[in-house]
Amino acid sequence: MAGRRRWTTEEILDAAAELLRTSDAESFSVRKLAAVLGTDSSSLYRHFRSKTELMRAVADRILAAAMDGYRPEGDWKQRLIALALRVREAFGRQPQLAAVWGRYASGGAGSRLVMEEVLQALRASGLPDEEIPVRYHRLAVLIAALIASEAGVSTITPQEYEQGMEHFRVAVLGADPERFPALAHFAREVRPLGADRRAAFEEILAAQLAQIEAEIGTSRPTGP
């Protein structure tokens, strides 16, 4: 009798990414992945010691794809914006995996490429070395949160989206001005979370970079 097929690490990651694309991180399991591949869980544990390790590897491949062909151009702010948009676009093609990245921090090659470029850009900004790790962490948290938030909206069906928009309109436009005076005042201008996310992403990121730039000016020694 022929033995079971031996799956390569890359084939396992391909299958895991596809399974996550059609489901979510909560329902994902090594047992389900093994069933998709027609094998048993023990054969997958030869490649990955745990579900967490597997999830990290899947997320890292998205980061590696984002960095494929990347060349730093422009000043430090332009580099960081370009990098953030590349990562955003990569996870936009597989939004279900954005939550995986946020939950299972990757330390693989893709992650190291992203970290290296962010740190290099921050050094090019003129920030003192002792301030760079903190700024790196804040940028990483911000970008991951924005991407995960956007991905959460993009994974719902058009019907669910329209239902959400209708609930939003009813809740906002029908707000009692006595109880919610500010909400009633701005009701026709307030936009739902799903609206114009690209502009919001870039504006929030630009504000963070502007804060860094302002701190650079105050950290530089003044003349006599």
- CA dist 54 and 71 (Å) reads 29
| Chain segment 24-71, per-residue pLDDT in tens | 667 788 999 999 999 989 889 999 988 888 888 988 998 999 999 999
Confidence of residue 99 (pLDDT cuts 50, 70, 90): confident
- CA dist 215 and 194 (Å) reads 32
pLDDT above 80 (res 105): no
Cβ atoms of 4 and 39 within 8 Å: the answer is yes
The CATH T-level fold of domain 63-155+194-219 is Tetracycline Repressor; domain 2 (1.10.357)
Domain map of the chain by residue range? 63-155+194-219
Question: What confidence score (pLDDT) does residue 102 get?
Answer: 73
Question: What confidence score (pLDDT) does residue 2 get?
Answer: 47
Question: What confidence score (pLDDT) does residue 1 get?
Answer: 37
| Chain segment 168-187, per-residue pLDDT in tens | 888 888 889 999 999 999 98
Q: For the chain, what is the mean pLDDT? A: 85
